[in-house]
């Protein structure tokens, strides 16, 4: 397969409601889509950067710049013709995993479309559908939170994740448990909002039989998470900390994590995500697939990843209408709390041309020759 170039397309997608976390509130997504154009087929990737470097050091304008100035020229110079070669060609450039992951995803989609194979099959899927969890943002009041959670449970979601921060943690969790009972699969996500000094406070969450507490401390604080795990009985799950199979191995060895949230964009792509899955499975560590408010393009790939055998906990693979009134692809619709795994060539989905044109804010062509 000869890659001719990459189309960098920005699309604006408003959210159905504001989504607030400990690091900010999103009301719309400015998404960078990457299209790899090759002689045999074209493929799509999605870059999960945010506009500002608040979740990770990466941000969307920076991703565009590094792709144009460094990453795509390096792929061209190396004559890359398949997805496994992408990481090797780009390894001399430090970090920028989300940008690298988007390029690898687009090349992998093109390669698999040309060969008539699906993303799910390529990654090692063992399920034809995956359970859906939903991430519930920080609300203005507990009654508002309870209404939101009730709506998601009525819709069929099988797991609820509550975003927390100092001042919005124990009481919201208590209220959800008291209203909806102990049978609801419930977990919390702090997005690095706490310090080790909050250990005794976080231990109060043990009373609510949570699946896990996600990323309570700063991403670089492996030792702190290991120490916290000695105080808190609720399993610690790392998210922002896990940037590669190497960091995952270190976290497991130190006892800093008992569960891992795998976000493909954060770790540099779906092939590295699969390596982390395999590593965790070898150590008996459960994993689940995190979300970054993706469009249907990223959602399709996440659903495929979540169908691997080690993904034993429901992930943030919600239906399209959780975030978007109109998705860029045919919408993912939940049935009995699950989403079907696309089985067509590549991602198994493509953007709807008229919708794509309507939401596009800019398009730039970068040749790979």
Backbone angles phi, psi at 14, to 5 degrees: -70, 145
For the chain, the first-to-last Cα distance in angstroms comes to 13
Virtual torsion, Cα 50, 214, 87, 48, nearest 10 deg: -20
**Of all helices (H) and strands (E), which one includes residue 24?**
strand 24-38
Backbone angles phi, psi at 345, to 5 degrees: -60, 145
What is the maximum span of the chain, computed from C-alpha positions, in angstroms? Answer: 61
Is 163 assigned a catalytic role? yes
Of residues 35, 100, 161, 263, which has the active-site annotation? Answer: 263
Of residues 68, 163, 204, 233, which has the active-site annotation? Answer: 163
Is 92 assigned a catalytic role? no
Q: What 3-state class would DSSP assign to 91?
A: coil
Q: Cβ distance 153 to 179 under 8 Å?
A: no
Q: Cβ distance 83 to 1 under 8 Å?
A: no
Q: Cβ distance 123 to 311 under 8 Å?
A: no
Q: Which residues are marked as active site?
A: 163, 263
């Amino acid at each position: 397969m000869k890659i001719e170039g990459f189309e960098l397309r920005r699309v604006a997608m408003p959210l159905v409601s504001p989504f607030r976390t400990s690091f900010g509130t999103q009301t719309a997504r400015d998404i960078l889509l990457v299209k790899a154009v090759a002689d045999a087929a074209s493929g799509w990737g999605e870059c999960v950067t945010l506009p500002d470097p608040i979740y990770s050091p990466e941000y969307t304008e920076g991703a565009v710049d590094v792709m144009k100035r460094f990453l795509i020229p390096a792929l061209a110079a190396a004559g890359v013709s398949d997805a496994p070669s992408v990481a090797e060609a780009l390894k001399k450039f430090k970090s920028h995993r989300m940008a690298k992951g988007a390029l690898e995803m687009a090349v992998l989609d093109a390669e698999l479309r040309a060969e008539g194979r699906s993303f799910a099959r390529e990654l090692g899927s063992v399920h034809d559908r995956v359970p859906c969890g939903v991430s519930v943002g920080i609300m203005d009041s507990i009654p508002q939170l309870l209404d939101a959670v009730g709506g998601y449970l009525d819709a069929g979601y099988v797991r609820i994740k509550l975003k927390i921060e100092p001042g919005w943690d124990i009481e919201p969790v208590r209220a959800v448990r008291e209203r909806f009972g102990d049978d609801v699969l419930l977990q919390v996500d702090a997005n690095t909002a706490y310090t080790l000094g909050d250990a005794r406070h976080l231990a109060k969450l043990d009373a609510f039989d949570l699946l896990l507490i996600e990323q309570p401390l700063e991403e670089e604080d492996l030792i702190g998470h290991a120490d916290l795990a000695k105080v808190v009985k609720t399993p610690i799950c790392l998210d922002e900390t896990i940037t590669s199979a190497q960091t995952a191995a270190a976290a497991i060895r130190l006892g800093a994590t008992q569960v891992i949230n795998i976000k493909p964009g954060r770790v540099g792509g779906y092939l590295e995500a699969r390596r982390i899955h395999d590593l965790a499975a070898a150590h008996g560590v459960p994993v689940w697939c995190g979300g970054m408010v993706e469009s249907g393009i990223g959602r399709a790939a996440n659903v495929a990843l979540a169908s691997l055998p080690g993904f034993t906990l429901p992930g943030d693979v919600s239906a399209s209408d959780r975030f978007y009134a109109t998705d860029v692809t045919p919408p993912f619709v939940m049935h009995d709390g699950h989403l079907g795994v696309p089985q067509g060539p590549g991602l198994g989905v493509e953007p709807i041309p008229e919708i794509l044109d309507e939401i596009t804010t800019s398009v730039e062509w970068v040749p790979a020759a």
